[in-house]
Amino acid sequence: MKSRFRFPLLWLLPLAFLGLFYFYPLASILALSFGRADGSPLSVFASLFQSASLRGVLGFTVWQASLSTLLTLALGLPGAYLFARYRFPGRTLLRALSGVPFVLPTLVVAAAFSALLGPRGWVNLGLMAVFNLDAPPIQFLNTFGAILTAHVFYNLTIVLRLVGDFWARLDPRLEQAARTLGAGRAAVWRHITLPLLAPALLAATLLVFIFNFSSFGVILTLGGPRFATLETEIYTQTVGLYNLPLAAALAALQLAATLALTGLYTHLSARLARPLSLRPPSHIQRPLNTPRRRLLAGLVLAALALFILLPLGALASRSFVRLEPDRGQRTAQTGFSLDYYRALNQRQQTSAFVAPPATAIRASLTYAAATVVLALALGTPAAWALARQPQAFFSRLLDPLLMLPLGTSAVTLGLGFIVALDTPPLDLRASPLLIPLAHALVAFPFVVRSLTPALRSIRPRLRQAAAVLGASPRQVALFIDLPLVARSLLVGATFAFAISLGEFGATALIARPDFPTLPVMIYRFLSQPGGLNYGQAMALATLLMVVTTAGMLGIERLRVSEGGEF
């Protein structure tokens, strides 16, 4: 009887947190918004679907998310196969680097592509110098191609990790048996590999689609005003036109779509824990021992490396180089300089910023540390409940809810904080705790996804043996479970830390002017004219990128290879 009630109790803290800091602010802003409508909420939804422009926004949202997802799969699946089946030098490093864009703020990614392909980017500057051109030959920014490229850049790691990890544990003897019976490569793929791989493939597809569907920063910074998705339209209707009823209808529509997609995703993720014929990856992976394999692998790995490293390298190099136009205004003279980094600890007399960049660095690190504590406190009991009783009613009902903050409009949620958390005892609008609370909403689902596979992999007989020897459930958790999942706890903590450092959407609305975060400070610098402001933005973005890269390298060293979830 005790065990029947123990596992629902594990959900109390995560549920209370979601109720207070997700559902309550969201319900408050939606109620306020619909309360200002001339008619009923249904009439607002009716006008939404009757508007040709809004139907176009919805159609473009689905179209760009679908195409971005297909392109991510096209580039990611060959890489996932290589990571799953072969050992090669640099494998861990490249896999870690692929995860860096995922936790970087959109402003940093936009700055990276601007440094590479923008009007003053390295590629255009080089082409203008070589061919003596007056204008940049490549127009990348504010194009549909920029949106697609950035989305693939962001989400490539999901395919590499989720599909690659699952693929690495499928027993190749099933394929070998089919080949022995006369099946060709295409038949083996169609009838053996693809059906076994389908849960991981569909789960990765859904997760990538969710992130593309709710994309905001990429559309806003790289797409420009010509392109509008549900998320950017919510921002426009809220901040630009102050049409709160329509913004609320759009947010509700986005939330319903996200809930349906996350429910399907968590169902597929549960199937990843029960695959057929699992084997340790170390027993499956083999070296690239033929010239043909080396050539094909080299082409795929070169494409992945260039796609990931070129924007990040362009960003880092731009933070060390001053560009001064020559007399002809066609090219630029370059010079190595550390001035941008030296200026980070100084407050310019003409600056409109309340705090210097060094304050933003300290504030971001403090917020990230608090986020780690909150995310672990919330994610650990939820992961424990999911791992021990995955088919329990609470687990099946609440698992999809954990993913909802990832697909909810950051603008809507940020405004919800301002509206709802304004009266005691939840008057947190001026509290420094508000930012870690907002960051924990996004971070603790990653803690759950990191911990749950590790907890599921613990053999029940270890717990049973400890219980037979007289250990209480608390002692079993403390001395059996915790040591076995310590590495996964560190992985979840690192994810939470990196995500907190890079969160921008909600933070931009609730951050205090005297304690901005790194992404907010980068945005302020980029929105101000002047080479020094741009250079300091590049320097801050590079520092953020270095910390994130170190975190992803740590995750690769600590991660449990038998994990089946992202």
Residue 325 has pLDDT above 60, yes or no: no
Provide the percentage of residues in the chain whose pLDDT is more than 90: 17
Range 62-232+275-342 has CATH code 1.10.20.140: no
Q: HSE on the CB side for 40, CA within 13 Å?
A: 3
Pairs from 286-294 (Cβ < 8 Å, separation ≥ 24): 286/85, 286/86, 286/87, 287/86, 287/87, 287/88, 288/86, 288/87, 288/88, 293/86
- DSSP E strand stretches across 290-442: 321-325, 332-336
pLDDT at 281: 59
Asked if residue 493 lies in contact with residue 553, where contact means CB atoms within 8 angstroms, the answer is no
Q: Is the dihedral of CA 58, 61, 63, 66 positive or negative?
A: negative
Q: Taking residues 109-124, what's their average pLDDT? A: 87
Q: Taking residues 148-159, what's their average pLDDT? A: 93
Residue 331 has pLDDT above 50, yes or no: no
pLDDT at 264: 82
Summarize pLDDT for 166-220 with one digit per residue, the tens: 888 777 777 778 778 777 778 888 878 888 888 889 889 998 998 899 888 788 8
Asked if residue 347 lies in contact with residue 193, where contact means CB atoms within 8 angstroms, the answer is no
Summarize pLDDT for 213-262 with one digit per residue, the tens: 988 878 888 887 888 888 888 888 877 777 878 888 888 888 888 888 88
How sure is the predictor about 324, in pLDDT bands with cuts at 50, 70 and 90?
A: low
Q: Which residue has the tokens 């540390």?
A: 369
Q: Taking residues 489-514, what's their average pLDDT? A: 84
- In 3D space, the residue among 173, 158, 142, 147 whose CA is nearest the CA of residue 63 turns out to be 147
pLDDT at 385: 81
Q: Which residues pair with 239 in a beta bridge?
A: none
CA distance 90 to 70: 27
Residue 369 has which token pair? Answer: 């540390």
User: What mean pLDDT is reported for the chain?
Assistant: 81
Kind and range of the H or E element at 14?
A: helix 12-18
How sure is the predictor about 332, in pLDDT bands with cuts at 50, 70 and 90?
A: low
pLDDT at 327: 46
Asked if residue 69 lies in contact with residue 205, where contact means CB atoms within 8 angstroms, the answer is yes
CA distance 7 to 561: 27
Residue 150 has pLDDT above 90, yes or no: yes
Residues in the chain, how many? Answer: 566
For the ranges 16-20, 312-316, 475-479, 516-520, which has the lowest average pLDDT? 475-479
Instruction: Report DSSP letters for 240-266, one per residue.
Output: IS--HHHHHHHHHHHHHHHHHHHHHHH
How sure is the predictor about 436, in pLDDT bands with cuts at 50, 70 and 90?
A: very high
Amino acid at 334: T
The domain locations on the chain are: 62-232+275-342
Residue 244 has which token pair? Answer: 């709160």
Asked if residue 516 lies in contact with residue 533, where contact means CB atoms within 8 angstroms, the answer is no
For the ranges 114-118, 134-138, 203-207, 281-285, which has the lowest average pLDDT? 281-285
Q: Is the dihedral of CA 245, 250, 251, 252 positive or negative?
A: positive
Residue 563 has pLDDT above 70, yes or no: no
Three-state DSSP class for 270?
helix
Dihedral of the alpha carbons of 483, 486, 489, 494, in degrees to the nearest 10 = 160
List of residues 6+ apart from 74 with CB closer than 8 A: none
CA distance 529 to 169: 52
pLDDT at 84: 86
List of residues 6+ apart from 257 with CB closer than 8 A: 213, 407
For the ranges 338-347, 473-482, 553-562, which has the lowest average pLDDT? 553-562
How sure is the predictor about 151, in pLDDT bands with cuts at 50, 70 and 90?
A: very high
pLDDT at 176: 75
How sure is the predictor about 61, in pLDDT bands with cuts at 50, 70 and 90?
A: very high
- In 3D space, the residue among 377, 376, 399 whose CA is nearest the CA of residue 387 turns out to be 399
Q: Taking residues 285-302, what's their average pLDDT? A: 86
Who wins on pLDDT, 323 or 517?
A: 517
CA distance 75 to 191: 23
Residue 343 has pLDDT above 70, yes or no: yes
Kind and range of the H or E element at 287?
A: strand 286-287
pLDDT at 392: 63
CA distance 500 to 365: 9
Residue 222 has which token pair? Answer: 């790289």
Asked if residue 455 lies in contact with residue 481, where contact means CB atoms within 8 angstroms, the answer is yes
Who wins on pLDDT, 512 or 275?
A: 512
Summarize pLDDT for 536-548 with one digit per residue, the tens: 888 888 988 888 8
Asked if residue 502 lies in contact with residue 517, where contact means CB atoms within 8 angstroms, the answer is no
Residue 132 has pLDDT above 80, yes or no: yes
pLDDT at 74: 95
CA distance 349 to 262: 49
Residue 274 has pLDDT above 80, yes or no: no
Q: Is the peptide bond before 425 cis (omega within 30 degrees of 0)?
A: yes
Q: Taking residues 396-424, what's their average pLDDT? A: 79
Q: Taking residues 459-464, what's their average pLDDT? A: 74
Q: Is the dihedral of CA 215, 216, 222, 228 positive or negative?
A: positive
Residue 371 has pLDDT above 70, yes or no: yes
Most confidently modeled range among 264-268, 287-291, 372-376, 430-434: 372-376
pLDDT at 448: 87
Q: How far apart are the first and last CA of the chain?
A: 34
pLDDT at 323: 60
Instruction: Report DSSP letters for 200-249, one per residue.
Output: HHHHHHHHHHHHHHT--HHIIIII-TT---HHHHHHIIIIIS--HHHHHH
Instruction: Report DSSP letters for 88-142, one per residue.
Output: -TTHHHHHHHHHHHHHS-HHHHHHHHHHHHSTTSHHHHHHHHHHT-SS-S---TT
